[in-house]
Amino acid sequence: MTSRRREREALALADQLHSAAIHLLRHLRKEDDASGLSAPRLSALSVVVFGGPITLGQLARAEQVKPPTMTRIVAGLEKDGLVKKKGDARDRRLTKIYATARGERVLVAGRARRVELLAGAVERLGKTELAELGRGAQLLRELIDSMRRAQ
């Protein structure tokens, strides 16, 4: 296979993966309505829950928004009892955002709803398709890891 052909095939497959991932996430995101939170709040809460305590600036960068926007999102999460702010013990100039137990429960419940919806579709696959999808999921994790290392 020529280098140019391999590049074209890689681009076509990357486009298919991108499209499939977006459609899958959009479909699963419908389950998030049950949480009563907006997508930006759920996303920020996810970063705090799974990423541990984080500063407002770090959270804004992770979510790719400006700090004033993140300040409003965090204020809403704090008002709802999903996160709390504490001063950093080592650097008193910093304030870290922590998930509350309630915030963790909301996020875990939402993830469970999405996984359950996806599992229902996966259960309908045949044995061969299940094996192929399992291998595809493994390859996707490896691909993501290689992208992270390349950054």
pLDDT digits (tens, 9 = 90+) for 11-25: 999 999 999 999 998
Report the run of H or E that residue 85 belongs to, with start and end.
strand 83-87
Q: What does the pLDDT look like over 99-108, one tens digit per residue?
A: 999 999 999 9
Q: Which two tokens stand for residue 130?
A: 């299940």
Q: What mean pLDDT comes out for the span 48-70? A: 93
Q: What does the pLDDT look like over 88-100, one tens digit per residue?
A: 778 778 889 999 9
What pTM, to 2 d.p., does this model score? 0.77
Cβ-based neighbours of 74, under 8 Å, separated by 6 or more? 44, 56, 59, 83, 85, 97
Q: Are 1 and 10 in contact, with CB atoms under 8 Å apart?
A: no
- Its sign, for the CA torsion 44, 46, 49, 55, is negative
The domain over range 15-150 is classified in CATH as 3.40.50.300: no
Q: What does the pLDDT look like over 119-150, one tens digit per residue?
A: 999 999 999 999 999 999 999 999 999 999 99
For residue 34, pLDDT over 90 is answered with: no
